[in-house]
Chains A and B, each alone.
Chain A
Amino acid sequence: MKLDLVHDLQEAYRKTLDSMSRPGLISNIQDQASKVALEISNFNPPAPLVMVLMLFDTEVKFKVCSKREAEIAELINQLTYAKATEIENADFILVLNDADPEEFEQVINSACPGDLHDPHKAATIIIEADSVSNDRDLTLIGPGIEIESFISVRTSHNWVDLRADKNSEYPLGIDLIFTDRNANILCLPRTTQIWQEVAG
């Protein structure tokens, strides 16, 4: 079945909003992702593309970090009319699984954190992970979390410390959306503080 640009994207949005409002809450958009995959086969796994279709349009500037950057940026532009740009100017940055670690570090360091007058102009970074779960790897506290919540994000990128540095001057900071192979989504707004379990 084809992706319904009205109803499927509305459902994906509500799930994303739910996960952004409750950091640690993992939502699933497999239904929408599989519909996208039927139509667009060269974007796999398809969950990040659901986010793109949901949020991007001519008002949006984006950056793709991937070995296939040119191809994917062109596809996104064709689908949404959003414009590709450099990391510093991007409203949304897509970090795909095959992005190299140095580029990832550069993304976090150079992404726009907003400024005190316009903290909402900060970038949202959509990161493709192998898997996200509620395993007790990282502890989250902050708005949207009753006491604490637990997550585990399996990715080749070392993001926890980089994010903490980037978000040290609230209300400036970046907001993260993780997607995984099973079309799970997990959001970490800049207000979420992360505690790492110390091994041993």
Chain B
Amino acid sequence: MRIEYNFAFFDEGSKREIRRATLKAVAIPGYQVPFASREMPIARGWGTGGLQLTLSLVGKKDILKVIDQGSDESVNAVNIKKLITKTTGIKVTDEASEATIIQSRHRIPEIPLQSGQILVLQVPLPEPLRYYEPSELETKKLHAEQEYSGAWLMLFEQIMNYGTMSTGADHPAMVHDRYVMAPSPIPRFDNPKLNHSKALILLGAGREKKVYAVPPYTRVESLAFEDFSFEVESFKNKYCGICGAKGVFLDEMLDDLTGETFYQCNDTSYCLQRLNQESAGRGIYNDRV
């Protein structure tokens, strides 16, 4: 028996709903547009919003890349690729530069995004003010009034407690000087990539049924204070133990045998691509340590 699927899984009505919301999201950068979310055949809590956005976008000519915390091969990334290729027949790739749509969870690829690409970020918690305001009605009001002193206070308390703005991932950012936005749990290292991006960036939250957008060439400024400036995670004097890359987001690893720590690229396809290019002798990377 063969089950017939809709192209890109969704019925056309579901796509239209998300498409209308997406066009409004682009017109109001950083503002969370609500939409009617459909049940998805993947595990809840993982963030279906990104998948819904991708399904509303994808066409026969697209080439898709899916990454989960820097990995193209994680179970989640593989499952999403399976669902999309099974219902569309489109090509998938690991190479960021080859993809027309990149769906990602918790990272923006190391290879700079290009004009014409769309980055879809999966968002577990779209509301940056939820941390101190549990009511949706109230947070909508705060956004309406551009009343963000709570967000600043939250950062200030972190500085008082830890001496730094150690927010970890999902550091809030101001978009187009109007809306404070949750960039999704990307490391602070990736926040600057949102600013003045060449690619359109769409963010989707399935459970909270919200979509928001950062159009290309839009100002995205990570929240910071004059005397406590925004800082990305520092990997100073560290490099990838596999490909030698510097200036990328690194994972700290422990060598079981020697007990020594070493580092490797979090973006695994980037790392692999560097190795392949090096072994092919193209020598485009000269920063090997």
Report how far A20 CA is from B19 CA in the complex, Å: 12
Shortest A127–chain B CB gap in Å is 15
Question: Which residues 88-125 of A sit at the B interface, judged by CB distance below 8 A?
Answer: 91, 115-117, 119-120, 122, 124
A46 to chain B, nearest CB (A): 19
Assess whether A163 is interfacial by the CB under 8 Å rule: no
Tell whether A17 pairs with B200 under 8 Å between CB atoms, given A7-B60, A54-B19: yes
B57 contacts A by Cβ under 8 Å:
yes
Complex-state Cα separation, A11 to B19, whole angstroms: 12
B12 adjacent to A116 (CB under 8 Å): no
Question: Contact: A171 with B22, CB < 8 Å?
Answer: no
Does A5 count as interface, using CB distance less than 8 angstroms? yes
Asked whether any CB of chain B lies closer than 8 Å to the CB of A13, the reply is yes
Minimum Cβ distance to chain A for residue B53 (Å): 11
Out of B20, B57, B215, B216, name the residue touching A14 (CB < 8 Å).
Answer: B57
Q: Which of A63-71, A140-148, A178-186 is found at the contact surface with chain B?
A: A140-148
Interface of A: prevailing SS? loop
> What are the interface flags for A164-200 relative to B under an 8 Å C-beta threshold, 1 for contact and 0 otherwise?
0000001100010000000000000111000000000
Q: Is the CB of B12 within 8 A of A143?
A: no
Please give the distance in Å from B194's CB to the nearest CB on chain A: 12
Q: Is B96 an interface residue (CB 8 A)?
A: no
A contact residues around B27 at 8 Å (CB) = 20, 175, 189-191
Complex: A17 Cα to B145 Cα, angstroms: 28
For A61, list chain B residues within 8 Å (CB).
none
Interface size class of A (residues with CB under 8 A): 35 or more
Q: Contact at A144–B218, with CB atoms within 8 Å?
A: yes
Q: Which of A7, A91, A145 contacts B7 (CB 8 A)?
A: A7
Given A13-B19, A54-B16: A171 and B178 interface contact (C-beta under 8 Å): yes
Give per-residue flags for B246-286: 1 if the beta carbon is below 8 A from chain A beta carbons, else 0.
00000000000000000000000000000000000000000
* CB neighbours of B219 from chain A (8 A): 143
> Is the Cβ of B23 less than 8 Å from the Cβ of A171?
no
Q: In the complex the two chains form, is A17's CB within 8 Å of B16's CB?
A: no
Do residues A117 and B60 form an inter-chain contact, with CB atoms below 8 A? no
Decide: A175 near B24, CB < 8 A? Known: A6-B7, A13-B19, A17-B200: yes
Tell whether A28 is near chain B: CB-to-CB under 8 Å: no
Complex CA gap A145/B60 in Å reads: 28
Question: Closest chain A residue to B179 by CB distance?
Answer: A171
On whether A17 and B144 interact (CB within 8 A), knowing A6-B12, A57-B13, A171-B28, the answer reads no
**Bound: A144/B215 CA distance, A:** 5
Residue of B13, B19, B22, B27 ringed by the most chain A CB atoms within 10 A: B27
Contact between chains at B60 and A144 (CB < 8 Å): no
A171 touches B16 (CB 8 A): no
Give me the interface of A with B, judged by CB distance under 8 Å.
Answer: 5-7, 9-11, 13-14, 16-18, 20-22, 54-57, 59-60, 91, 115-117, 119-120, 122, 124, 143-146, 170-171, 175, 189-191
Question: What are 17 A-B pairs at a CB distance below 8 A?
Answer: A5-B12, A10-B59, A17-B57, A21-B216, A55-B23, A57-B13, A116-B145, A119-B28, A120-B21, A120-B31, A120-B33, A124-B23, A143-B176, A143-B216, A143-B219, A145-B217, A171-B28
